[in-house]
Amino acid sequence: MKYLILLFILIDVTIAFSDTSKDISKEDSKKLALHFELISNDFKNKGNIPLIHACHWLGGENKSPHLAWSSPPENTKNFVLIMIDRGNKNSKRETNHWSVYNIPNDISSFSPGEELENKKGIVEGKNYEGKEGYAGPCPSEKHLYRFILFALNKEMPIIEKGLTLSETDFKAIYEPHILGSAKLEGYFEPSTLRLFINKIKRTLSNILN
């Protein structure tokens, strides 16, 4: 009987230790996710996005910025990048400007203006213009833009080309597969002169048509 009691105690201790190890593992995973970082050589977090990355209508080149990331969570299978327009400081909008899916875990950066679909497995979703690929900032006033990169687990399914997902949409659908995320935000404000020129263009176009 004494040996049986000792056996039960040993089993309880083993189970307790196992549960503690799981908790530690989860905590370690969360800590690792905190170091997950997304940066750009073209602008700092909360800084101003250069004109070259804005739309043609505002005098830009519609060129996607340099992006690089580091220290993703352990067991990351692939990544998804989403760029949204958050509007002005009083807005809750989420206008989709760029969606990049199925980014392999051995890729850790994008060059400025890079043709991403030449890379293995990567596809792009449709932006607010209804076109696949990048759509640069094109506001009529100062707006905040968010780039968010999701690290995803091994069970994450492949996403089809052309799908449009906002940050909120993606979280709602794929939340069980998200190991962590990293974000980079920047502001873009069009010049008063450019807005004035565009207003004249629209007026002349309306008159001529």
Residue by residue, DSSP assigns 38-83 as EE-SS--TTEEPPGGGS-GGGT---PPPPEEEE-PPTT--EEEEEE
Q: Are 150 and 79 in contact (CB under 8 A)?
A: yes
**In sequence order, what are the residues at sequence separation of 6 or more whose Cβ sits closer than 8 angstroms to the Cβ of residue 48?**
186, 187, 188, 189
The three-point CA angle 50-128-43 to 5° equals 20
pLDDT band at 192 (very low <50, low <70, confident <90, very high): confident
Helix%, strand%, coil% for the chain, nearest 5:
35, 30, 40
Q: Name the residue among 127, 82, 128 with its Cα closest to residue 101.
A: 82
Whole-prediction pTM: 0.80
User: Which whole number is the average pLDDT over 64-76?
Assistant: 97
Structure-token pair, residue 21? 């190890």
Structure-token pair, residue 103? 């980014």
User: Which whole number is the average pLDDT over 11-27?
Assistant: 38
Per-residue pLDDT reduced to its tens digit, 80-107:
999 999 997 767 779 999 999 999 999 9
Residues 137 and 188: their CA atoms lie apart, in Å, by 7
Strands 78-87 and 95-104: antiparallel
Residues 47 and 29: their CA atoms lie apart, in Å, by 30
Structure-token pair, residue 35? 């170091």
The single residue listed with the structure tokens 């007026």 is 203
Q: Are 153 and 179 in contact (CB under 8 A)?
A: yes
CATH number given to 37-208: 3.90.280.10
Confidence at residue 3, expressed as pLDDT on a 0 to 100 scale: 42
What are the backbone angles phi and psi of residue 10, rounded to the nearest 5°?
-60, -40
Residues 171 and 150: their CA atoms lie apart, in Å, by 9
The pLDDT of residue 156 is above 50: yes
